[in-house]
Amino acid sequence: MSVRALRYYEEQVLLQVDRNSGGQRHYPDTAVGRVRLIQQLYAAGLPSRTVREALPCVDSGHVSPELLDRLEAERVRVDQRITDLLTVRDRLHDVIAVARNPGPGCTHAR
């Protein structure tokens, strides 16, 4: 985890940070799980605004109907991305299989 990313999460109010009298940051024990969740949400393509709105809901269990609709739409988008990636993986598997065991008349360089 980069310091830059941690500072960004702090600036975006995604991560709570305490400071000692010398100004050093101290992260709570829950910070590791929180950072992983933030990274997963960003990796899934959720925009910063949605991540910022969703995190308090993770903590409280309460979500507005509007946010719930957006999260469900994001889930549909992620499901489609998973389907697309699985299709690509299967195609790559087929290409690799043919490359490793080419049929008669198929030439390739190793």
CATH number for the domain spanning 25: value is: 1.10.1660.10
pLDDT band at 90 (very low <50, low <70, confident <90, very high): very high
Q: Residue 110: its pLDDT value, please?
A: 52
Among the residues of 12-64, which ranges form H helices? 31-43, 48-60
- Which residue segment(s) compose the domain that 76 sits in? 64-110
pLDDT digits 0-9 by tens, 67-87: 999 999 999 999 999 999 999
Closest CA relative to residue 51, chosen from 41, 43, 62:
41
The mean pLDDT value of the chain amounts to 89
Single out the residue in 60, 76, 95 at which a domain terminates. Answer: 60
Residues 81, 35 share a domain:
no
Look at 91 and 104; give whichever has higher pLDDT.
91
